[in-house]
Amino acid sequence: MSVTVTRWWWVRHAPVINPSGTLYGANDLIADVSDDASFQGLARRLPQDAHWVTSHLTRAKQTAAAIRAAGLAFGDPAVERDLGEQDFGDWHGRTYAEVAREVGAHHFWLAPARTRPPGGESFVDLMTRATAVIDRLTVAQRGRDIVCVAHGGTIRAAVAHALALDPEIALRIATANLAITRLDHVHDEGRTDVWRVGWINLAPK
């Protein structure tokens, strides 16, 4: 039997510049990409000759550009809108405390995984769109390294997909800015495909 491993290297974008401390989710805020040491660490740790992907949001594109500027050569990343952060709809621009008063406090996140903000989407909605992209690219880039610069919610969704976690359990996964999460898809011809987790939140330096 032939076994092929496709390696996903997930990187959460650099910290967002958000002095008001309000929810930004799908809003297109810029990132602080001044942490040269972290970007140099990412340039050393991430693979060469990988297929690069980012979400459509500026902070993900900025982060990828900063990794390239730190010394890792790669072409222009493909942009996948469905790997963007959760759309909080009418909750954008509000504080966490305001949302908690409206929907009730949640242990790990803003709201239960199946709660859909007015005009927005639930974490389950995010999982549905993100996993469709993950499955498509895993087949299209089979046997390669895939580096994806994305968001906390997207990376939670990817880990949940790999481990077949209930969405509510997935909200317990912490994601650190500029950390690497490695997920491998193992394709064993003639058998069921499986995922394995290499690491979550590996610091770049």
Q: Which of 145, 142, 150, 141 is nearest to 179 (CA)?
A: 150
What's the pLDDT tens digit per position in 8-49?
999 999 999 999 989 999 999 999 999 999 999 999 999 999
In angstroms, rounded to a whole number, what is the distance separating the alpha carbons of residues 98 and 114?
Answer: 19
Confidence of residue 102 (pLDDT cuts 50, 70, 90): confident
Q: What is the dihedral sign for C-alpha 28, 34, 38, 43?
A: positive
pLDDT at site 1: 62
- Residue 98: φ, ψ to 5°: -65, -45
Say whether pLDDT at 83 is over 80: yes
Ordered domains of the chain (ranges, CATH): 3-202 (3.40.50.1240)
What average pLDDT does the segment 92-109 reach? 83
What average pLDDT does the segment 61-67 reach? 98
First to last CA, the chain: 38
What's the pLDDT tens digit per position in 125-160?
999 999 999 999 999 999 999 999 999 999 999 999
Q: Which of 119, 190, 95, 197 is nearest to 155 (CA)?
A: 197
